[in-house]
Structure 1
Amino acid sequence: MAHTKDNTTTQRTFKHLSSYERGKIAALLQEGYSQRKIAEKLGRNHSTINREIKRGTTTQLNYDLSTYEQYFPETGQAVFEKNRSHCGNKSKLLKVESFLQHAEKMILKNDWSPDVVVGHALKNNEFTKDEMVSTKTLYNYIDQNLLDVKNIDLQLKVRRKQRDPNKRKHKRLQGKSIEERPETVDDRKEFGHWEIDTVRGTRTKDNVLLTITERSTRQHLIRLLEDKSSAAVDQAIKKLKVQFSNVFKKVFKTITADNGTEFANLYNHDVDVYYAHPYSAWERGTNERHNGLIRRFIPKGEQISNYTEKQIRRIQNWCNNYPRKLLDYSTPNELFQKELQAIINPV
C-alpha cells in the first residue's frame, strides 16, 4: 500500500486494468512480446500482467481436435467482473421468464449476442426494466447453466497465429502512412472513411473475400474475389465506383489498408489511401472486428470457393442488419442509408 500523504491515512494508488488495456495485452501477445515487455509498455507491474493473462487464458480446440491456450481480453474482463461481484438482490429468474425465452430464441436462432438482445429490447420497449434483466445478469445466467443457451452458442472468437515482425522487411507501398491520416478520420464523426482487408479460407490457391468497413456507421461490404491479387481488388473497387456512380468520392473519402501487395494500386481509384503499420491489426480494428463476424458463418480453414455470391450477400446482410450497442442499438444499414440519402438529397 503506497502512502500519498505524509500522515496516517493511506490511499490506494493501484487502478484495475481497463478493457482498453486488456485489448492492448492481447495485441502485444499476438506480436510476440513477453509479459515483462508488455508490463513496461503499459506502465504496469509484471505481476499484474501475469495474473491478467492467467485470468483471461482459455483452452481452444483446433480443427484436428488438438488444443492450445490463448488469452482473450473479453474472458479476462468477464472473470474480473465475476470476481468483483457482490451479493445483491434476490434472483429475478422466475419473474422474467418471458424475457428469458425471448433471449434464448434471439441468441439461438438469430445468432444475437446477449448484449444486443438486452439493448434492442430496451430501445424498442419490448419489455419493461422490471420484466427483464441486464446484460451482465443474462451472461451470469448463461454461465450458471440456467438457460438453454450455453457459452459455446455465443460468438466464437477468431483464432490468430502469431507473426514474427522480423520475418520479412516491410515493403513501402505508394500511399501515405496512417500517421498522416486526418484527425477527422480518427474520431469517427465524419462519414466516408473506410478500412479494407481480405479474408482467406485456406492457404491454398482459392477465392478470397474483400471486406470494406465504414468507420462511423460500421457498414460492412463483402465482395467475392477470384484470388488475392491487386488486379482482383482493382476490379472490385471499379464495380463499387459504378455502384455508387456520381457520389463515389463523397462516400469513399479515405481507405485505410494494411501493407499487403493486393492493395498496391488503391491510390489509382480517386480516394486517399493510408497504410497501417506492419503487423498492427488494431489500427484497422473496425474491419478486423467485422471479419470476425464473418467467421461465424465461414470458419477458418474452409474454402471460400464453397460459398456462392448469394450466400456471401446473406452474410453481408446479416452483418449490416445486426443492432450494435455502440450505435445505440441501431443497425449499420440504417445509419448508412441515412448518410447516403443526405449525400444524394442534401437539404
Structure 2
Amino acid sequence: MLNAETAAALPQRGSWRSRGAAALSGLTLRQLSLVIPPGRQWGLWTSRQIVARLMDTFGPSLAGTRVEPVDVRTPDGHRVKGEWVWGAGVPRDTSRAIYFVHGSGYVLCSTRTHRRLVSWLSRLTGVGVFSIDYRLAPRHRFPTAADDVRHGWDWLTGHCGIAPDRIVLAGDSAGGHLGVDLLLQPDVRHPAGVVLMSPLVDLTFTLARSRERTRPDPTMRSHHAIRLVDLYCTGTESAHPRLTLDVAGGRPLPPTLIQAGEAEMLAADAIALAEDLRAAGGRAHLQLWPDQVHVFQALPRLIPEAVPAMRVVAAFVTDVLADNAVEQAG
C-alpha cells in the first residue's frame, strides 16, 4: 500500500492559507447555511450555485481534459448516466478505470461540479475515470442514488468489460456512503482498492455532533447537513441497513485510503469508518490533515495541502492496481 515515506508526509499544522480559508468559511459559508433553506426551491438552487462557483473558482485546471458523456440503457432497462474523464495526457484506455461517486449530501453536486477534481485524479494516476451522475434529492429519494451507483458499477464491469480488480472506487462525502454501501452488497465483486475523501458514514450525524461540540466545523453545522440528507432519506427509517451501514459486521472491504480534514465534523466519521473496516478484517489507512476543511482536495487554488494529499491518493491508486496486476501474473 503506502510506503513509510508517503505515510509520514502529513504536516503538523495547516498552512496559513488553509487556516485563513477555514476562518473565512466560518464567517461566510457557515453563516449562509443558517439562512438558506435547502427545502425551498430557491434555497436549493442558491446552495447548488454556491458550491458550483467554489469548485470552479478554486478547483484544478481543466486544460487538456477530454470528457465523453454517457447516457445509456442497460439490457435490463436501467439508465446509466455519467461521463468518462481523461486528464491531460492520459490515453483513452478502458482496460482499467477509477469509478468516481461524487458527494453532495445527495442533493447539491453533479459530475460537472466534480469534473475538475476528477480530471486531476485522472492526470495524476494516468487512469481514465468514469464519474456517475446519480439522480439527486429531493426529486429522487432513497434508494435512487444507491441504485444508480449500483447500475453504474454493473455497466462498468459488465458492458464495458473492465475486471473489478482493475478498478479503484473513489468518492467524497456522501459519495463515500454510497460507495461503501455498494461494496457491502454480497453479490458485488470488489475493486482493487477504495479512496474516500471526507466520507459521510453516519447519516444521523451523531458522530459529527460529538466532534462538533469540541471543535465546530468551519463550513457547516450538523443540523444544516441533516436537513440536506433528510431530503434524500425522508420516509425511510434511519436503521435501514442501506442507510445505517454495518461495516464492522459486513464483508471485509478492499484496501482503503481515507482522507479527511481534521477541522471538519466528518473527521469523526472517517475515524469510525477506519476502525470498522479493520474490525471487519480489511486494511484501512487513515489520514487526518491538520486544519483542513471538508473535501479540501478539490480546492488546490485555495488550499496548498490539496496537492500533497492528491499525490498520496495517486500513489495509493497506482499501488493497488499494480499489486493486483502482479497477483494476476503470478
Higher relative contact order (CA 8 A, sep 6+): 2
More helix by share: 1
Q: Determine which structure has more spread, i.e. the larger CA radius of gyration.
A: 1
Do the structures match in fold with TM over 0.5? no
TM-score range (shorter-chain normalised) is: under 0.3
TM-score of the two chains, using structure 2 as the length reference: 0.24
